Amino acid sequence: MPDSTTARAAPAARPLMPTGVGYADGDYVPVEQLSVSVLDYGFTRSDVTYDVVHVWDGRFFRLEHHLDRFLKSMAALRMAIPHDRDAIRAILMECVRRTGLREAYVAMVCTRGRPPPGVRDLRQCRNRFMAYALPFVWIASPEKQRSGLSAVIATRPRIPPQSVDPTVKNYHWLDMDRALFEAYDAGADTVILPSLEGTVTEGPGFNAFAVIGDVVVTPDSGVLEGITRQTVIDLCRRKGIAIEVRPVTLAEFRDADEIFIASTAGGVMPVTRLDGRILGNGAPGAVTSRIRDLYWAWHRDAADTTPIAYED
C-alpha cells in the first residue's frame, strides 16, 4: 500500500464538456471557442476539406474509412499538416473523450490557411487542421424517420463534377443551400439535386438511393462517395440484397417504389414523399426499413468500430 504522506494525489478529474470540444494548434477548447480567421482561404474561397465520423454507443463507426477519405481529400487539394493518421485519430479520440458523449458527431477539417503577408501563392499557405466533437447530429430526427421525409427534386443542377470534384468532401454548398430553400418553399423537408445530364446526384449532406422492384440503385458518379453509402452497398452485398451502382435517371427515381437517403448524420433515412407524390402506402418501405435495421446492427460489429477510451 502506498504511504499516504508520499503518495501523489490523483489528479482532479477534468469536468466533461458535453456541449462540444474543439482542437486546434495543440489545444483542446470548448467548441464555442474554436475559430478560424476571416483571412483564411478556407473562409474566403471555400478552400477546405473535411470529414465527419460518428460515435454511436461509445464507439467510432468505420473510423478508418473516414480517415482514408480525409487523407485522400487533403492530398487531392495538395494540403499538408503536421499530424499523421495516428495523430489525427488520437486527436479525434481525445475530443470525444473530453465531451464524455456516447453519441457524437466528430469533424476533422483542413483549411488552406493564410499565405504570409503580401503573398498570394497558395503553395506558401500554412494549412490548418482543426477537429471537434459535438452531440450527435441528425439530418432527420428519429421521429421524422418513423413517418419518412418529404423531398423535392431541385430545379437547378448540382455543381458539375468537372468543376468541383464531389469525391473531395467540400464546403461548396451554395447549390445545395439554394436547393434547400426550394424545399422549404414547397413545404418539404429536404431536396435532391439533379445533374446537368438529368440524372440523380445527392442532397445537402446525404447520398440518395431508390428501390426499384427489389433492386436498390444509387448513382455511380457525380457524388461524394459517402461512407454510409458504402456501408449500404457492403451490407446489400453481404445480405444478398440486389444493388446496382449506376447512373439513375430522374424519371426512374420519380417512379421508384422506395427512396431513402444515407448520411453519417443520421444513417439510413426513408423518404416517403417526392415532389408531392406519396411513395408506397406513405410509410417507410420494407426494403428501406430492413437496410436501416441492418445498418444500425452493424454498429455492434467490433471489426468496424473503435471504442472510445473514456477513462482519464
Ligand X SMILES: Cc1ncc(COP(=O)(O)O)c(C=O)c1O
User: What cell numbers appear for 268 in the block?
Assistant: 439510413
Q: What are the E-state strand segments in the chain?
A: 21-24, 27-30, 48-56, 59-61, 104-114, 126-135, 149-153, 190-192, 202-203, 206-212, 215-218, 242-245, 258-263, 267-274, 277-278, 305-307
Q: Which x/- pattern over 262-301 shows residues binding ligand X (rule: CB under 6 A)?
A: xxx-------------------------------------
The residue among 47 and 202 lying less far from ligand X, judged by its C-beta, is 202
Report in angstroms the alpha-carbon separations of 40 from 30, 46, 93, 130: 21, 9, 26, 13
User: Does position 92 bind ligand X by CB under 6 A?
Assistant: no
Q: Residues 93, 109, 211, 224: which binds ligand X (CB under 6 A)?
A: 224
The amino acid at residue 200 is V
Q: In this structure, what C-alpha cell is assigned to residue 282?
A: 406513405
Closest approach of ligand X to the CB of residue 296, in Å: 14
Q: Is 41 helix (H, G, I), strand (E, B) or coil?
A: helix
Q: x/- binding map, residues 23-62, to ligand X, per CB under 6 A?
A: -----------------------------x----------
Angle, to 10 degrees, between the axis of helix 63-76 and the axis of helix 85-99?
130
Burial class (CB in 10 A: 0-12, 13-18, 19+), 300: exposed
Residue 24 or residue 232: which is nearer to ligand X going by CB?
232
Nearer to ligand X, 113 or 266 (CB): 266
Question: Site size for ligand X, by CB under 6 A?
Answer: 13
Nearer to ligand X, 59 or 98 (CB): 59
**Nearer of residues 156 and 277 to ligand X, judged by Cβ:** 156
206 forms part of the interface with ligand X (CB under 6 A): yes
Phi, psi of 218 (to 5 degrees): -150, 145
Given 20, 205, 219, 284, the residue binding ligand X (CB under 6 A)? 205
Q: Cβ 52 to ligand X, closest distance in Å?
A: 6
- Distances in Å between the Cα of 274 and the Cα atoms of 183, 204, 207 are 11, 16, 15
Q: Is 202 in the site for ligand X (CB under 6 A)?
A: yes
Residue 23 CB neighbours (<10 A): 23
* Angle, CA 296 vertex, CA 291 and CA 299 arms, to 5°: 130
Q: Please, which residue, 179 or 287, has the CB nearer to ligand X?
A: 179
Choice between 195 and 207, CB closer to ligand X: 207
**228 sits near ligand X (criterion: CB under 6 A):** yes
At closest approach, how far in Å is the CB of 58 from ligand X? Answer: 20
Stretch that binds ligand X, among 86-94, 97-105, 260-268, 274-282 (CB under 6 A): 260-268
Best CA proximity match to 41, nearest among 133, 154, 123: 123
Kindly list the residues in this chain that would bind ligand X in the complex (CB under 6 A).
52, 202, 205-207, 224, 226-229, 262-264
